[in-house]
Amino acid sequence: MGKLVLWITRKLSDATLERAARDYDVIVNEADGLHTADEIVAMSSKVDAILPCHSEIFDADVAARLDPRVKIIANHSVGVDHCDLAALAARGIVVTNTPDVLSDATADIAVLLMLGASRRAVEGDRLVRSGEWDFWSPSFMVGKQMSGARLGIIGMGRVGQVMAHRARGFDMDVHYYNRRRLPEALEQGATYHDSVESLLAVSDFLSLHCPATPETTGMMNAERFALLPDGAVFVNTARGALVDEDALLAALESGKLMAAGLDCFVTEPGGNPAFATHENIFMLPHIGSATVKTRDAMGFRALDNLDAFFAGETPKDAL
């Protein structure tokens, strides 16, 4: 009997592709481009499993049209808001993700964004790089200090907890909102808030670490930005859909927010062109998990889920 056929929709790490080729008959997207709904459906008749990234959309329409040959979608991501889980389940298709393995790398990027935004990294880099730095005084390039400040975290899951651990290294006072309060041992002294509104009122810095769901989409709107202390710094390494980007711009332009650090946007790839003229927005192109170690771990976790499924077991990360 030949190997099962696996479609890997994007170019993954070398170690992942090598392992996949050992155990499966692999079709790899060497061009590394995006796929349309029709292309996903057409490919589904040729494969037993799909290993996609967040960039491939499996909405209700795609789910309904997938070939019955496909038995599992093993995502190379933690978030699964690109998948209509109910529609896929109705077709008998198992969906998995890759939790745990990218928490450290994503929290590291969140810290980078907090520092870069609060210490005016975009403006400073431009001054030095352009040769325009010809002045200094005690009032020059003054930013906002992280150490000793209050950090609000929305979403105290795996990444949120690592972020809280990083923040304690800066002697930050950690506050959080979560759907349910953590056990005291996991809180590590963080202060729990039973509403987003209560958390916002004390957050000198605010960092998002929650999934995008119908309930959280657009959660950071004009009303909620207004609840933050004046001069707060906002960071998002979760999902762009969580933020009303017009409201974010308005908060920055009014001075309600001192700065923002963003690794994700409503429109990806591309981002928001309106952000480009604002030097108090420190931006990265959704690279929170982009380290060699983490990419290998994500790929291997997805393959572990595939191996378990085809061995007749329940994948560890089945949703």
Give residue-wise pLDDT tens across range 153-176.
Answer: 999 999 999 999 999 999 999 999
- Taking the C-alpha atoms of residue 83 and residue 235, their distance in angstroms, rounded to an integer, is 25
pTM for the model:
0.92
> Which pair of structure tokens corresponds to residue 273?
């062109």
CATH entry 3.40.50.720 includes domain 5-100+292-310: yes
pLDDT tens per residue, range 251-275: 999 999 999 999 999 999 999 999 9
What distance in Å separates the CA atoms of residue 262 and residue 251, rounded to the nearest whole number?
A: 15
DSSP output for 27-94:
EE-TT-----HHHHHHHHTT-SEEE--TTS-B-HHHHHHS-TT--EEE-SSS--TTB-HHHHHHTT-E
- Can you count the helices (H) and strands (E) in the chain? 12, 12
pLDDT for 2 equals 83
Catalytic site residue from 123, 187, 268, 279? 268
Q: What is the mean pLDDT of residues 295-317?
A: 98
5-100+292-310 and 103-283, same CATH topology: yes
69 is catalytic: no
> Tell me: the pLDDT tens digits for 113-128?
999 999 999 999 999 9
Catalytic residue among 19, 35, 286, 295: 286
Q: What is the mean pLDDT of residues 33-57?
A: 96
Average pLDDT, the chain: 97
Active-site residue flag, 268: yes
Cα–Cα distance, 176 to 67 (Å, whole number):
43
Residue 1 confidence class, pLDDT cut points 50, 70, 90: low
3-state class of 26 per DSSP?
A: strand
Asked whether residue 234 carries a pLDDT value surpassing 80, the answer given is yes
Domain map (residue ranges) of the chain? 5-100+292-310, 103-283
Q: pLDDT grade, residue 80 (50/70/90)? A: very high
Catalytic hit among 35, 54, 224, 239: 239
Q: What percent of the chain clears pLDDT 70, i.e. is strictly above it?
A: 100
Could you give the CA distance from residue 185 to residue 105 in angstroms, rounded to a whole number? 23
The fold of 103-283 is Rossmann fold (3.40.50)
Q: Compute how many other C-beta atoms are within 10 angstroms of the C-beta atom of residue 301.
A: 24
The angle formed by the CA atoms of residues 191, 196 and 201, to the nearest 5 degrees, is: 70
Can you give the length of the chain in residues?
Answer: 319
**C-alpha to C-alpha distance for 155 and 103, rounded to whole angstroms:** 13
Instruction: Let me know the angle formed at the C-alpha of 241 by 37 and 104, rounded to the nearest 5 degrees.
Output: 100
